[in-house]
Amino acid sequence: MLPPGDIQTNDQQPLISHEEVRTITSSRFLYVVVAVALFAPISMGYTIGYSSPAIPDMKNVSRLDNDTAPLFGSLLNIGAIFGGPFAGLMLGTAGRKTTVMLCAIPFVVGWCLIASMPYLWGLYLGRVLTGFATGMASLSCPVYIAEIASPSNRGFLGSSFQLSVTLGILLVNVLGVPLTYVWLAIAGGVLALFLAFFMLPMPDSPSFWLVKRNRPKALEVLRKLRGPDADVDVECREIEATLDESDSSFSWREFSQRHLYRPLLISLALMFFQQFSGINTVMFYTVEIFQSTGSSMDPKLEAIIVAAVQVGATFVSVLLMDRLGRKVLLIIAGVMMAFSCTTFGLYYFLTEKVSSANLTTPLPPSALTMGTPGMADDLGWLALASMVIYIIGFSLGLGPIPWLIMSEIFPSKARGTASSIATAFNWICSFIITLEFRNLETSITKEGVFWMYAGICILEVIFVVFFVPETKGKSLEEIEEHFRGRDSAEVSAK
């Protein structure tokens, strides 16, 4: 079982104290590099949200039907399952920057297939390729940002990854109003080309250059990222010390060591909670969910509202990440999502109950005052409010923080491999929950599905309280020393 509690201070002093770490400066160039890298998660969000406006249009022109549409949406996850491990392999060989750039290739090819191929297999293949690129982006970009950011702004910059994902989702829903699915795909390809073009002159991370034993290049990059007045030699020595202690070689057998499997289990658990809270079900089928509520509002407008709320809430999370910390936001998110899933289930329960009563027996006057037979219209506010609260909660915590913690808690030598496992597991969970949403809806009813999500969110809160460490304000090297230090203490006690 994972040990509870926050990161404790080791008896041995780190090479850089907490106070010194927080004084590490950041140049404007750092923010330029991060802004360019964020084209990857923007493209990722665009791809995730594409199904919502595109599937209805594809059905209208007979490219998809009720049987093929769910598979088209789910194939993104299949591609992402393999894209993550591929990116993990490339991180250590080609470098962090190059891996982020390589995301553009499957993005462009996939969007071209979706836009041009007249055959169903072409749509499927294009979806798999854009999913492959999405998996690559979901792993490589958080790692790249974490390794170039300073401890004082790593939470802010790291959580901007999820903010960019939500911007991509909002963008595709807005463009989905005037554009057909073909032009939406072309726009997605253009976004990926921007990523490749602007990323070309950006530097690789200092950690990567030190792994490659190129200290002068690492110092050069650090000076650009921290500014000319920063003492980059101290930071460089701290990274080197961690690399020397762990050695650059890595074997899968090392996951049997507690300082490696504990952070891996934490990351896997957070990825599980992120997906089995139902978020991709909501985002893939936003329009269809609102159509099923019978709301009088245009479903595409509802999808845009939800995406805009997600952007706003994620922006608030970005601002709070380095103030409140990761644990507090995860707890707040879990409580909000559990509440909203409960009320959304209540909405379906009330509408189904009244609908069934209307078919069998005359309704009493009290039921008539609720607006039956237009029950869905009268309670549409409950569905919309539940969705908005859910999106706010997810965007505050379970959206950005699992990716951020994944990029923080693994040691340098295992970061690529461990992040690959966590990313692949995330997309496997996403595939399962997206594909099985319809079957769950049939077997345990719509309200049962959302109440299941509520129970999972409650479990997430309990897990975070007892097992997730707080990483706010800690350097990547200090976080690694936390997991190693507790092992050392246990060995000394024995």
Encode pLDDT of 263-291 as tens digits.
889 999 999 999 999 786 666 556 656 66
Burial of 441 (0-12, 13-18, 19+ CB in 10 A): middle
Task: Measure the N-to-C terminal CA separation of the chain; round to a whole number of Å.
Answer: 19
Read off the pLDDT of residues 355-378 as tens digits, 9 standing for 90 and up. Answer: 565 555 554 444 433 334 455 556
Q: What is the mean pLDDT of residues 229-250?
A: 70
Read off the pLDDT of residues 53-62 as tens digits, 9 standing for 90 and up. Answer: 898 889 888 8
**What pLDDT is recorded for position 494?**
38
**What pLDDT is recorded for position 289?**
60
**What pLDDT is recorded for position 5?**
42
Confidence of residue 249 (pLDDT cuts 50, 70, 90): low
The DSSP line for 355-401 is HHHHHHSPPPHHHHTTTTTSHHHHTHHHHHHHHHHHHHHHHHTTTTH
Do 159 and 317 form a contact (C-beta atoms < 8 A)?
yes
Query: Which structure tokens are listed for 276?
Result: 């089995």
Q: What is the DSSP letter of 17?
A: -
- Judge whether residue 433 has pLDDT over 90: no
Q: What is the dihedral of CA 477, 482, 488, 492, to 10 degrees?
A: 140
Average pLDDT in the chain: 81
Q: Pick 251 or 442 by higher pLDDT.
A: 442
CA distance 354 to 360: 10
**Which of 110, 116, 107 shows the shortest CA–CA distance to 168?**
107
Read off the pLDDT of residues 63-112 as tens digits, 9 standing for 90 and up. Answer: 888 888 878 888 898 999 999 889 988 887 888 899 999 999 999 999 99
Ramachandran region, residue 8 (left: φ > 0; alpha: ψ -120 to 50; beta: rest) = beta
Do 81 and 420 form a contact (C-beta atoms < 8 A)?
no
Read off the pLDDT of residues 180-228 as tens digits, 9 standing for 90 and up. Answer: 999 999 999 999 999 999 999 999 988 888 888 888 898 888 888 888 7
**What pLDDT is recorded for position 134?**
95
CA distance 139 to 92: 13
- Judge whether residue 138 has pLDDT over 50: yes
Which single residue is written with the structure tokens 């072409």? 122
**C-alpha neighbours within 13 Å on the C-beta side of residue 229:** 5
Q: What is the pTM of this model?
A: 0.79
Instruction: Give the Å distances, CA to CA, from 198 to 9, 38, 131, 220.
Output: 41, 11, 22, 20
Do 417 and 261 form a contact (C-beta atoms < 8 A)?
no
Do 127 and 76 form a contact (C-beta atoms < 8 A)?
yes
CA distance 121 to 394: 34
Q: What is the DSSP letter of 414?
A: G
CA angle 226, 405, 156 (to 5 degrees): 45
Burial of 20 (0-12, 13-18, 19+ CB in 10 A): middle
